[in-house]
Amino acid sequence: MDANNQPIERMGIGIVGCGNISEIYCKNVKTFEHLNLVACADLDEARATARAAQFDIAARSVAALLASDDIELVVNLTIPDAHAKVSRAILKAGKHVYSEKPLATTRKDAAKILKRAKKKNLRVGGAPDTFLGGAWQTIRKLLDDGAIGTPVAATAFMLGHGPEKWHPNPDFFYQPGAGPLFDMGPYYLTALINFFGSVKRVASLARASFPERYTPDKRAIPVNTPTHIAGSLEFANGALATLVTSFDVWHTQLPRIEIYGSEGSILAPDPNWFGGEIFIRSENDAEWRSVPIEFPYTTNLRGLGVADMARGIRANTPHRASGEMTYHVVDVMRALLKSAEEGKQVRLKSECARPALLNETFALNQP
């Protein structure tokens, strides 16, 4: 249903990239009544065939999927290094594109995607869409309603010891364009941008603490990108944030995200997920209070951003997980690395609008 409670005209969806994350996308895209998952494709044909059989959709070659008349929007679930090339090909074929994060690994490539979309009058959207989840929308409303007064600052910590112990193919995580900042930073940055608006300037320090990482079978992975990045950010509303992303930390007790206001604090859950517990504590509260989630979508609904994008296209209104915001996130991450490399603050050239509150729900298919 749209904002006027009218059914939304269905949109044909294709998926390129049938790896790990494609399963949950297929499941969720099929959940929304106004999305019609038509086909999937992968360089590895067997992966596409298996995913297609699992979800009762067509397996096509990438070229055939891009040439399909029954598909208007393509979801790009390839590896980060391939995002830019695949997204540009999708736009060239005249389809809207929704990309997994990051939009691209360089500013230049990310900018080319937005430029091509503008020229062809097509839309770009991208992950993460967890900020559309019930927990994040509830916090956004609390902040907008002044529940902790004027936002002053935030802290955000993504601290772990990297994926090489569990991921089947972890090498790319330690190469330029990945690392903890490009891999997990988009969740944290998007959450903060949703609260505070664009980032104006950043400063950071970074290191690669270990020259090699080891898989469980003792295979060495060379490390060619910073693996501990300690950043400071100033937002459009004046709030300051500390963002530390690390693959060099074994244990921590730090919260994922806390937000500090002139009249209290909010403890937020993990921005990798749509739900989670929220706590608030005002100036004179003796204890933290649990806050009930007031918005829908609290389970792993990766693809909610695609549903909102299709709605926006049909209604000719902005979609929330926008190309401008995913570009800004790439710009901020690049700026953090540049600041560390050059030992100086970096001012951001890009900005994006704060996405509107998700104050509508989508009709779901009956099971």
Ligand X SMILES: NC(=O)c1ccc[n+]([C@@H]2O[C@H](COP(=O)([O-])OP(=O)(O)OC[C@H]3O[C@@H](n4cnc5c(N)ncnc54)[C@H](O)[C@@H]3O)[C@@H](O)[C@H]2O)c1
List of residues contacting ligand X (CB under 6 A): 16-22, 42-44, 47, 62, 77-80, 82, 86, 100-101
CB of residue 44 vs ligand X: minimum separation in angstroms? 4
Nearer to ligand X, 186 or 226 (CB): 186
Nearer to ligand X, 72 or 100 (CB): 100
In whole angstroms, give the CA distance from residue 295 to residue 322.
Answer: 20
| Residue with Cβ nearer ligand X (103 or 202) | 103
Q: Which is nearer to ligand X, 172 or 210 (CB)?
A: 172
Taking the complex as a whole, the smallest distance from the CB of residue 23 to ligand X amounts, in Å, to 9
Measured CA distances, 264 to 42, 155, 246, 295 (Å): 49, 14, 28, 22
Identify which of residues 80 and 151 has a Cβ nearer to ligand X in the complex.
Answer: 80
Please report how close the Cβ of residue 122 comes to ligand X at its closest, in angstroms: 19
- Least separation in angstroms between residue 163's CB and ligand X is 9
Q: Which is nearer to ligand X, 32 or 182 (CB)?
A: 182
**Residue 366 structure tokens:** 């009956």
Of all residues in the shown chain, the one whose CB is closest to ligand X is: 19
Q: Residue 279's CB: how many other CB atoms inside 10 A?
A: 16
Cite the beta strand spans of the chain per DSSP E.
11-16, 35-41, 58-59, 73-76, 96-99, 124-126, 151-159, 199-207, 212-214, 220-222, 228-235, 240-246, 257-261, 264-268, 278-282, 289-291, 346-347
- Where b means 16+ CB within 10 Å and e means fewer, 162-201 reads bbbeeeeebebbbbebbbbbbbbbbbbbbbbbbbbbbbee
- Find out whether the peptide bond into 128 is cis, omega within 30 degrees of 0: yes
**Least distance to ligand X from the beta carbon of 356, Å?**
24
Q: Closest separation between CB of residue 246 and ligand X, Å? A: 17
